[in-house]
Amino acid sequence: MIDLNDIKEDSFFPGRMLTALREWSQKRRLRAMLKDPRSKRGFRSMAQLEKGIGADRPTTERLLLSIGARKAEGAEEWTLNPL
């Protein structure tokens, strides 16, 4: 399987296509992390999610919102479950 983080912007893929593929992969990983039954109460910390997809906080938050995740009140935790 190709690791999209290893592909350089100036290689075969144009910049926008590479970004779209990378974000698609990151969204998939976020969904999998949030659906994992081992996560307590269905929540994951922002630090775990950032590290899991290899992105900074603003990018991670933007991707979480785009997949319909919700932030827990008073904590830096996210879930796909209804609050």
How does pLDDT run across 20-71, given as a tens digit for each residue?
Answer: 889 999 999 999 999 998 877 789 999 999 999 999 999 999 999 999 999 9
Residue 8 lies in a domain: no
Q: Taking the model in full, what pTM does it have?
A: 0.78
Question: Is residue 6 in some structural domain?
Answer: no
- Determine how many CB atoms are found less than 10 A away from the CB of residue 17: 10
Domain housing 71: 13-79
Answer whether residue 32 is part of any domain.
Answer: yes
The C-alpha torsion from 31 through 32 and 33 to 34, rounded to 10°, is: 50
Each residue of 5-15: pLDDT tens digit? 665 555 555 77
Domain count, the chain: 1
Whether residue 35 is contained in a domain is answered as yes
Instruction: Indicate whether 64 belongs to any domain.
Output: yes
Nearest C-alpha neighbor of 62 from the set 20, 23, 11, 16: 23
4, part of any domain: no
Question: Considering the domain boundaries, does residue 2 fall inside one?
Answer: no
78: left (phi over 0), alpha (psi -120 to 50) or beta: beta
